[in-house]
């Protein structure tokens, strides 16, 4: 996992010194993915925040994050959560973006929470097991992760434009 962290740092350095850095569509998408990757490495791999906040989900987290492919897939999923509000309102204030990301995260994660909780538990599905074992506190974690990703995004965006 530490090699992945250094890869993220290298990607950050390469991105900040590349022509993509202009806030084109591709630049914005790259910045969103980079922000989410940095947030995931810090919050999940280094600080183990989901294990601290969601003790009921520890066995699932241990199993899921033992695989680098799950970590990468989760990073892309979080990037979608952040990318949609960023792309929808490119000229919104930083406070507005944080509010939009929070609202969007609560709506989407809340929908999946209700969807999976209304169905019988399927042990073969990670998300079914996740929502059945963790429940509503998973929304708090999702919002926290997305807010941190948003702050990283806004910081990198300002650093690039300044």
- Say which DSSP state 123 is in: T
- Confidence (pLDDT) at 26: 85
Which of the residue ranges 5-9, 114-118, 149-153 would you say has the lowest mean pLDDT? 5-9
pLDDT tens for each residue of 48-87: 999 999 999 999 999 999 999 999 999 999 999 999 999 8
Domain that holds residue 8: 2-161
Asked whether the predicted pLDDT for residue 102 surpasses 90, the reply is yes
Nearest to 37 by CA among 20, 64, 15, 60: 15
Q: How many domains is the chain partitioned into structurally?
A: 1
Computed over every residue of the chain, the mean pLDDT equals: 88
How would residue 162 be classed by pLDDT, with cut points 50, 70 and 90? low
- Confidence (pLDDT) at 124: 94
- Confidence (pLDDT) at 10: 58
R_g over Cα of the chain = 16
pLDDT tens for each residue of 112-148: 999 999 999 999 999 999 999 999 999 999 999 999 9
Q: Is pLDDT larger for residue 50 or for residue 8?
A: 50
How would residue 91 be classed by pLDDT, with cut points 50, 70 and 90? confident
How would residue 8 be classed by pLDDT, with cut points 50, 70 and 90? low
Q: Which residues of 34-54 are buried (b: 16+ CB within 10 A; e: fewer)?
A: bbbbbbbbebbeeeebbeebb
């Amino acid at each position: 996992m530490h090699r992945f962290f250094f890869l993220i740092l290298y990607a950050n350095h390469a991105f900040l010194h590349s022509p993509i850095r202009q806030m084109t569509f591709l630049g914005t998408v790259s910045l969103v993915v980079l922000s989410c990757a940095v947030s995931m490495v810090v919050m999940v791999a280094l600080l183990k925040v989901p294990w601290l906040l969601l003790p009921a989900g520890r066995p699932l987290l241990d199993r899921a994050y033992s695989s680098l492919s799950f970590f990468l897939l989760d990073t892309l999923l979080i990037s979608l959560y952040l990318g949609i509000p960023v792309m929808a309102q490119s000229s919104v204030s930083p406070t507005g973006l944080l509010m939009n990301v929070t609202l969007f995260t609560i709506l989407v994660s809340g929908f999946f929470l209700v969807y999976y909780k209304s169905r019988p538990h399927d042990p073969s599905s990670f998300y079914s097991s996740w929502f059945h074992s963790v429940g509503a506190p998973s929304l708090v974690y999702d919002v926290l992760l997305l807010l941190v990703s948003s702050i990283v995004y806004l910081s990198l965006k300002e650093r690039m434009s300044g």
